[in-house]
Chain A
Amino acid sequence: MHVRRTSDARPAYVPVSGHPSAAPVAAVTLLGVTDILERARTKVLDGGEGLSYDELVEVLQLPDEQVPELLELAHAVRMAHCGPEIEVEGIISLKTGGCPEDCHFCSQSGQFTSPVRSVWLDIPQLVKAAEETAATGATEFCIVAAVRGPDERLMSQVRDGIKAIQAAVDINVACSLGMLTQEQVDDLKDMGVHRYNHNLEAAKSYFPSVVTTHSYEERWETCEMVRDSGMELCCGGLVGMGETLEQRAELASQLASLDPHEVPLNFLNPRPGTPFGDLPIMGSADALRTIAAFRLAMPRTVLRYAGGRELTLGDLGTRDGLLGGINAVIVGNYLTTLGRNADDDLELLSDLKMPIKELAKTL
């Protein structure tokens, strides 16, 4: 029988890159109660059932020395329930800045003194961005607008943009246009939108500390309408915004109960001028624990690396996350910041022998 170390001193996190079978630490506690990793192996890997809130809290409290074993398990879960393929997506900002909402992490809010100016993209540029994205092998191209919800002008622009993209590029089109009415959900579906993104952003208990201009319930309502419409629902959030570990587990549980097709996981990139602009960057071990916890909460969901991974994880951590539960990436740049070089990401996927999901398999 192995015994869990009881020292409070947490050793520095040791990356597991290239060593996905790093030596397991403890499997059983002194009391004979199976530890969380063993229970997760049985429940999630063997049974295909996601962990509960309480179990996710335990996962997020694992010491750094158990992170390699945790990542190994999350990777095994991903491989068993999702397979080896990676889904690649590109994103573009159709309407940047000037948003009336006050999401405290976002440089596009018109309520903060951010240097981001309002700008609209025209249709030829939108099509060019879709072509650049498709050239990376991506199957999804997401059109994003910084708005509370779309007005008729934006819906018209999106309609024209989708038509132009569909005529020129072989790629699935996704949208992220804020909160929707049922009529707008129906319109977007009729336009051929394959997937709609609307994040919960934070746990329900932390949401009022992140956004005050709309409610968690309003977000949830849009997500339910999208899911019920038959469009794929993409719904995730951000971590590293000052939330507790319990609130991270809460977010994962709430996302699991919503059952989205895809969960984009963002790590806060503190933006100048925003209320969260002075928060510290999340540590890599915490970020990797979070990735694994989200995978163990949602064994069959597409779990996507979204913004902030470059700062939080760097090159080595990015690799560790791909071997720790992630099965989708945003390649290239984000909405207002730059991402890793797309070619570097594609080379990394090739090194890891993770095939890119083909378009035919997403239809």
Chain B
Amino acid sequence: MNEFCGHCGEPVDARDHTVCERQLVMEPPRFCTSCRRRMKVQVHPRGWSAECVEHGTLTS
């Protein structure tokens, strides 16, 4: 279960993240959902990758 919002980095149970979820359709996550670190994100023409130094790389 995710502890943090990938869009705003706030704890998922701190507030409603419906707007963040909508944003995540149009942009990659910027925060690691496990540790809240800002990730290194690279957007490609047909996808993206997001790297957390602690938790590895996510890809679209």
> Which positions in A face B, CB cutoff 8 Å?
90-93, 96, 115-119, 121, 125, 128-129, 132-133, 136, 272, 310-311, 331-338, 342
B45 pairs with A119, CB closer than 8 A: no
Complex interface: chain B residues within 8 A of A115 (CB): 9, 30-31, 38
A336 pairs with B27, CB closer than 8 A: yes
Complex interface: chain A residues within 8 A of B8 (CB): 272
When chains A and B are docked, how far (Å) is the Cα of A304 from the Cα of B60? 27
A-B contacts, 20 of them at CB < 8 A, read A115-B30, A116-B30, A119-B42, A129-B45, A132-B44, A133-B45, A136-B45, A310-B26, A311-B26, A332-B45, A332-B46, A333-B47, A335-B43, A336-B41, A336-B43, A337-B26, A337-B27, A337-B43, A338-B25, A342-B45
> Which positions in B face A, CB cutoff 8 Å?
8-9, 25-28, 30-31, 38-48
The 7 nearest A-B residue pairs measured at CB: A115-B30, A332-B45, A90-B45, A337-B27, A132-B45, A119-B40, A333-B43
When chains A and B are docked, how far (Å) is the Cα of A296 from the Cα of B59? 42
Complex interface: chain B residues within 8 A of A332 (CB): 45-46
* CB-nearest residue of chain B to A120: B42
B39 pairs with A117, CB closer than 8 A: yes
* CB-nearest residue of chain A to B27: A337
Instruction: From B9, B28, B39, give the contact of A338 (CB < 8 A).
Output: B28
Complex interface: chain A residues within 8 A of B48 (CB): 333, 338
* Nearest CB of B to A25, in Å: 35
* Nearest CB of A to B51, in Å: 8
B46 pairs with A132, CB closer than 8 A: yes
